[in-house]
A and B are shown apart, each in its own frame.
Chain A
């Protein structure tokens, strides 16, 4: 493979995009149906603080123009979204699209950062323990450590992190608290670390990479090359590292987004998870729908990137 065949890439891309839009449609529909089945009128939440009378509720519905059947509501939502209009939050009145952009960027930073943390820990451990001839005495405790972090409840880990940074290192790891001295960004590393360590993915990444790496190393091709004394690094890197890493990242996005719900609450992170939690409590339909869509887009983009990497590395496989 001298150059990446563009045609195949383009076809992959188109296929994935088509699939992605179908999936987004499915996601939005499922979320809508669940929301519709939930008790609690979203409009009654607006009268929180007093009990809604039937009359007041009817008045609100009329004012907000929501008197359609459920599928009518879904299709009008869909129609608006296709026109780029995600509606406005029932609760704050702010346009959902603008809010989503803000919070999703924050969450993107948190999740990407934590994935990086996960990989920085998991990849060396996996590589080390998949190589032959290495002492179990070293790789074993490392693997164990990775497993231990994955088995801790993430919010508890967050509390420990805050307790330790306050009492041990004399700083308060909330993004908003240290902005004045220019080192504010440093504090954002703590939640990133906590999510990276505690999202429960390290053990799986280690395991998966180790499997893949040892499988690749055991391939006939590598054995022959090795016997000839040639370098097998290139092939092993692509097949044993690049592919599995891109696969695991793509597959773990929904998982890490879930962890972000918790970490964002603890570290006061103005992200999507916190917004989702609040919106679920407020029955803020447009916000929940928007977040579900964006989360699904994250997942699909991850999978798209993974497909592209795969096609680039292994054009034959992609053609099949």
Chain B
């Protein structure tokens, strides 16, 4: 069996479809998996709620209201449940609004890596030959850049816009998806799955869309998507440290941690800790959701 030489997140390139679905429910899902997915779904739910609250401006306080008399107030003062930031703005409201910064751009990044990744993966896996060589070169090329440096170059060249950042992130995520799908197709081909499908007279389009992508790759794609969101948040945070993340006055968790961290050493922990915890719980949620889903859908009994 040929193995993909690259690590594609944790996605199995050699995953197999088992008779897993015939197991009774209580054996199917282990308790940790259910907890993981439960927690992950809770976080996803909270993120969605925050997104809606932010989009309709249903916030406890005006997130842009500057209060020069109340800079970096501790939690609980003056009706600010989570305190205020370096401009006296309400941290709680900004945290809720901050999810806006990631939601659509993050989805864009995921969409780019999945759509291009799927096309390239199918081309490389199904067609093989010349296409495969070119695609392998491309994926290797993208993988050869330190991602942060590449993004820094791009935003310096264009502008520090979260959509640009996420577009580059999406492109750097393409190789992972492409290689995973190509690997999966190779495994299926090895098991004469595709030959059988062709022998049955199925059209290529149906084989690819329905039998390969839908039946065999959906778990992989869902997991890739959940992980993408977490990565988007962390990446924006790193860029914020360098000054190139989402720009004020638009709140993002990353620029909140960054601006708060300037006062960290003076003992003002809260303004950076609040958004850092938000990042922590959210990414944990996405990671665990991905983990749990992987265990359930792919039938891996790892614990």
Contacts and interface: CB of A to CB of B under 8 A. Distances in A.
B147 interface: yes
Contacts of A148: 280, 284
Interface stretch (A62-70, A94-102, A172-180, A207-215): A207-215
A159 B265 contact: yes
A43 interface: no
Given A153-B254, A211-B302, A23 B144 contact: yes
B148 A261 contact: yes
B1 A152 contact: no
Contacts of A38: 153, 156-157
B241 A155 contact: yes
A208 B221 CA distance: 16
A39 B155 CA distance: 11
A236 B71 CA distance: 58
A280 B143 contact: no
Contact of A280 (B5, B9, B156, B279): B156
Nearest to B153: A34
Contact of B149 (A129, A152, A258, A300): A258
A136 B146 contact: no
A153 B157 contact: no
Interface stretch (B100-108, B197-205, B230-238): B230-238
Nearest to A314: B3
Contacts of A307: 5
Contacts of A243: 3
A292 B287 contact: no
A257 B149 contact: yes
Contact of A277 (B143, B242, B291): B242
B302 A130 contact: yes
A295 B146 contact: yes
B212 to A, nearest CB: 21
Interface string A237-268: 00000011001101110110111011001000
Interface in B151-195: 152-154, 156-157
B143 A254 contact: yes
Given A22-B137, A136-B32, A200-B234, A214 B144 contact: no
Contacts of B154: 34
Interface string A303-317: 100110010000001
A317 B140 CA distance: 20
Contact of A214 (B261, B265, B302): B302
B157 A248 contact: no
B27 interface: no
Contacts of B301: 214
A251 B145 contact: no
A299 interface: yes
A147 B261 contact: no
A46 interface: no
B283 interface: yes
Nearest to B273: A156
B157 A27 contact: no
Contacts, number: 181
Given A148-B284, A163-B265, A280-B152, A254 B144 contact: yes
Contacts of A19: 137, 140
A285 to B, nearest CB: 11
B147 A254 contact: yes
Contact of B5 (A136, A208, A247, A291): A247
Interface in A186-211: 200, 203-204, 207-208, 210-211
Interface string B284-303: 10011001000000001111
A146 B234 CA distance: 16
Given A27-B141, A300-B144, A317-B3, A129 B280 contact: no
Contacts of A281: 156
Given A208-B10, A247-B5, 13 more contacts: A23-B141, A27-B145, A34-B154, A129-B303, A136-B32, A140-B32, A140-B303, A151-B234, A153-B254, A153-B279, A204-B10, A259-B238, A296-B145
26 contacts: A19-B140, A23-B144, A26-B144, A31-B153, A34-B153, A38-B156, A140-B303, A155-B261, A159-B264, A159-B272, A210-B302, A211-B10, A211-B300, A214-B301, A251-B6, A251-B143, A254-B146, A258-B146, A259-B148, A261-B242, A262-B241, A265-B242, A280-B153, A281-B156, A296-B144, A310-B5
Interface of A: 19, 22-24, 26-27, 30-31, 34-35, 37-39, 129-130, 136, 139-140, 147-148, 150-156, 159-160, 162-163, 200, 203-204, 207-208, 210-211, 214-215, 243-244, 247-248, 250-252, 254-255, 257-259, 261-262, 265, 273, 276-277, 280-281, 288, 291-292, 295-296, 299-300, 303, 306-307, 310, 317, 320
